[in-house]
Every structure is written in C-alpha cells, then in structure tokens.
A and B are shown apart, each in its own frame.
Chain A
Amino acid sequence: MTMEQSTALAPASRAVQLLGTDLSEKNLKLHLEGLSGVDAVGLEARAAALATRSIKTSSKVWALDTIIRLIDLTTLEGADTPGKVQSLVAKAINPDPSDPTTPRVAAVCVYGDLVADAVEALGAAHGSGGPDGIAVAAVATAFPSGRASLAVKLADTAEAVAAGADEIDMVIDRGAFLAGNYGKVFEQIVKIKDACRRPDGTSAHLKVILETGELNTYDNVKKASWLSILAGADFIKTSTGKVQPAATLPVTLLMLQVVRDWYRLTGEKIGVKPAGGIRSSKDAVRYLVTVAETAGEDWLDPHLFRFGASSLLNDVLLQRQKLQTGHYSGADYLTID
C-alpha cells in the first residue's frame, strides 16, 4: 500500500524528510523495525535510579509550582455535566483560594461535547496553556478505545476544534498497531492532524495517546512514539487513564528518550504527557527529574510537558501549604474541585 495521500499532506512532512518521498507502509515498517531495541531491565533500573533523587528546600518549592503549571486538570467521566466543568475550570483558575500566588494549571481536559462549556467558563482566563492563559484540551477520536470509523473520528475532532478546543488528545488505533498495520495508524494521525486546522489557518495542538498499557512492551512504545512523531504529533501521551497500567516512570522515560533523539536528529521539540495514575507530589517530582535529566530542562514548560491528572493537584497544594506553614493541613483545607 502506497500512502500517496499522506505524502501530499503537509503534516507528514517529517516522515517525508526522514524517509524520503516514496513513503510507503513497507518503508515505514522497515524504519520502525530498525530502531534499536529497549532492554526492559535496564530501562526500569534507570527510572528507579532517577526516582531516588532527593529534591529538597528551594528545589522543592520550585518543583511544586512547576508541577501545577504543567497540569492538564482533567475530568473524563460519563457523568460530566456543564456544572462539573464549570467547577473544574474554577479550580484551574484559582487552585488554592487561600493563596493567590499559586500558579494556574496549563489546561483543562474534557470530552469534546463539553468544550464550549469549558471555553465559556474560562472567559478571559482562556489562553494557549502557559503564562497567557489556560488552554482547553479535548479528548477526541472515539476516546478511549478508538474503535470507530475514521469518518467518525474526524468528525469528533473537527467538532471539538470548532467548539474552541486548543488541544486535541487523540488515541491511536491500537488494534491496527498490534496487527502490524503501521500505515493505517500513521494515516489516521495525519488526517486527524489535518482536522485540527482551523479556518484561519492555525491549528489545534495534537497530542497522540499511545495507550501504553495496551501496547504492553517497551519496544512497542518506542515504535508507536516514533510513528506518532513522524505522522505529525505535537505531543506524545502515555495513556487515556482508562486502562491499567496508565503512566509509569519507565514508559515516560522511554518516551522522553525518543523526543530527545528526535531533537538531536532534527532540532525539533516534541512534547510528552504522562497521564493517569500520578497522584502524589512525590511521584510528580520524580517525573520532573526524569524530564530534566533526559530531555533537558527546556522541556519543563507547558508547551513541552504536561501531567494528565485530577487528584494530583490537591496533593501538590497540600505540600505547598506545608512548605509555607511548616505543618500539614487536611483534605478539608483544600477545595474538592
């Protein structure tokens, strides 16, 4: 199968640049299979070693604030309502009412049909994720399973973008990936990327969720990361949060190694987003250390690294208060959302 359509698409320019203009499934497969393997024991040992860094005093203060700045505050429940989204947005804008110096989170992450509610609730606080304001991220493409036709996925994406989503969190077709049908996965990403374009020519940022818990091996994670980047991903993201295991430190380390390698090869920076299962500040600090010591400190920026999390924020706020007051408060001193 020749992917003529893909080659014609602008977002696939990375693949064309790396693999040549005769982009074909065979070509892509050869490239992915030529990547050096991952030794699971060694990868996990490295992650465990990074997790022993001791982040104290001034470093801890900075780390806690940075974690908040990097959070995609998320609600992805069947029971989500406009009211729930409003409440989430209020928390995103003002995480700790007792301390106005608390930074804001990077984005709120919701289902596509609630994007408009999130945009409205944010009002003037809406921005592109960073100092200028909180972004709205929408999960799309038949999240979380991705089991729908391409037409449905494209429509899902286009609607969310039209409703004002700044970022689209898509899922890859894990079935196609595991069946070895890399071309199909690639083409879908390219097309979703295209569907992220707005009429004014700008584009919503595309985060590609690999669902590493279903890919199962580190070699697969590496291939899927590389494939997603070639297809045009702005971010590669570990998980939907609906499958266990979700984000783990070794998987995130591996994805950071891939974006570091991509940067070394092309000078282009791709973002990484671990999502699901990161609940404590201690855990999140380990991710910061891993980012800084793998991809580099430049990546500790909302445009290059995010935490997909919901309960993490309150634990960080608890630790932040503890650093300021010298004692722990309790759950009742933090707002539930």
Chain B
Amino acid sequence: MKLEVKNITKSFGDKEVLKGISFSAEGGKALGLLGRNGAGKTTTIRILMDVFHGDGGEILLDGKPFEPRKVQIGYLPEERGLYPKREILEQMVYLARLRGLSKSQAEKNARKWLDRLQVDADGKKLLETLSKGNQQKVQLASTLVCNPDMVILDEPFSGLDPVNSQILQEVVKELIAEGKIVLFSSHQMSYVEEFCQEIVIINHGEIVLQGNLEAVKREFGENQLVVGGVGLSGEDMERLIKEQFAEMVEITGRDREDVIVRLLPGITRTELFRRLGNVQGLEVEHFETYKPSLNDIFVAKVGEER
C-alpha cells in the first residue's frame, strides 16, 4: 500500500496554514511528520482523515483517490478522549462497529488488544475508574481495535508516561513489521528516531526537509567533524578554531566541550588533522565524524523563527 499526499493547501480565513504539502508513505515503513507547535502537522492529518477538506491538492491510496472511511484506519487524533462513564469493552466494540466490524469480531479484537496492553481484560469496568495510564492504554487499544491497514497517530506520545510510551513504541514496531502504513506526528524527536525510516519536517506550513532518516542524517553530517582538545573548554576551542583555522573550516555548532565544524571546499580531514597536531600546546582529544541526532537536524531546520 502506498499513500501519496500531493500539494495540499489550506487556509483558515486569511491565514495560509498549508502551502503545498507533498509526501508519500508506504506499508512496512513509519513516516514521522515533524514540526513545531502550529507548524501544520495536525491540519495535514485532519485533511488526510477528511475532518475537513483541503483547499487544493489530492490524496491517493495506491493511485486512487483516498477515502478514509472506506479503509480500515486506526486514528488517534490529537484531541482524544473516550466515554468516561461507559464500560471499556462496550465503547471499544462501538468504535470497531462504527468502522464496519461485526459484533463478534469487534469483541474479539477488543479483548485481544486489552490483553496485549495488559488492561482490565474483561472490559467491564467503567473507563473513569481506571488509572490515567490505563486510560491511555485503552485509548491506544481503541485506535487499533478495527485491525487497521493504516495507522495515523497525531502526537501519540504527548501525555504518555514513560512506561506507556515504551509500550506504544513496541506496538508501533509490531505494526510496521506487519507491513502496515504507520504515519504519525510528533515533536518528540527521541521517539521518532527509534523507529522512523522516513521523516517530513514541516515549518510554517511548508516542508523544509524530507526523506529517509539515515540519508538525511548522513547528508546533514557530511563533511562535519567534532573537534576537542584536552583541558580546553568549548569556548577556548571555538576561539582557537576561529583564530587559526578560519580558512579551513566553519563552525556549525557545539557539543558540550567539543566544537562541530564543517570542512570548507577543497580541505581534507587529513590536512585539518595535521594542522591541529602542529598547534603549540594543543593535545587533540576528539577528532571524529559528526553524527547528528534528529533533534540537531530539527533544531537546525526549524529552530530559528523567521
């Protein structure tokens, strides 16, 4: 299965919130939609789910127009909630039946997920009687109760405690292994990095970076090195590089006591290493390839407000 989002635009009044968003997601891979608050992630997902219509663009599933109510989708919206005063199993069965499952199948799936997530297995308790953590699990179980082919999770980790976050990660990994399309939005990079193959970073309604996470990291870290000297603070090291290496590198950042630098065109690592060795009183502690975290990439791309 392949989901393609092509050039989606959306304005609310005079404010243009999506300025042509395009990406694609495939079964068996997770796609992370990243961005700061208000970047347009939830709007993109809501248009995808037909909560409201986009002003332009199209969404295709395997080349045909995408109709979210005709595909089994496990959708966990940003604004989420269930019925506090109803029994757990009853409401899970209701949600599954709204998605077209038979009563017996809905019950079977609900029990399976309650069991898998270790919540009240007979489902007879009222939701409000569960702990907050268990209510979160029921919410997740309700998302998956229709045995979805596609899972869309909007800020799934927000509000989850660490244990439930871990459970969610495991479940998402299982869904990916089962070949399902997994699409989710987040601004918590560490979770995304765990299992995301593809990322799309949105800022102010535009895509500022997208592609395979490993490739993005490689590209972002290309020609960059982490340099540090024994006994030198980050500031000392930065000053030294500015004074003596300005024609060889540019400083791109700091990593605690080390400095991240990018080689200028025509300069090799060996040349830089030799020059560092010749500096009086400098004993090189770190000299290695810079491997950016997703957080670094994210901050670099959307950290500065325009």
- Are A and B interaction partners? no
